[in-house]
Chains A and B, each alone.
Chain A
């Protein structure tokens, strides 16, 4: 499963998070985000979660006020991508204990860190939710020790 990018978009069309696994220039990113915003927001809720865009597919799902959008190649598994998105939402929901859009806005670093423990260069690297959260937990401890040292010094 190779994901080209993951976008988190609010229903007002604001970008809450973007991660690109293909090396594309900023101008291309901006253009794609603009076009995908128009595309995804214009789709009605009863439509399916798969749409064609340029020469690849976009898979998206809405959770509360946020759209989670992935770009994948045409020969990839669309249904699996939906599961990958769903798993990601479950993981961040567990980490923040009932996540809301504001958590994502103010804690984008954590979301990125969780994402990097779950997906690496577009591939699912860890299929256990528990393991992702456990490793995040341990890294938090290391970071806290660092902070503590700062205070003591």
Chain B
């Protein structure tokens, strides 16, 4: 039994706005399945006395004080953007691509 179906991979690709070909879907589904099966094996060895773990460090309550730190300049902030206008990031139209 596969851990992830081809349809699930297609769904995730669409959510991530990745254009994936039919062949790629087959290939990625297979690869992701291997990864997920491997991770699932860890679940097999975890005994009841081992709680589910989401963080690798045994820490809680790591905070910083509410003190302003230097920011980037507008130029520096926009330096890596493919396109800008009026001091802002310029992005393609948002609604159409969902159709």
Q: Do A and B bind each other?
A: no
Interface residues of B (CB under 8 A from A): none
Show the binding face of A for B, using Cβ within 8 Å.
none
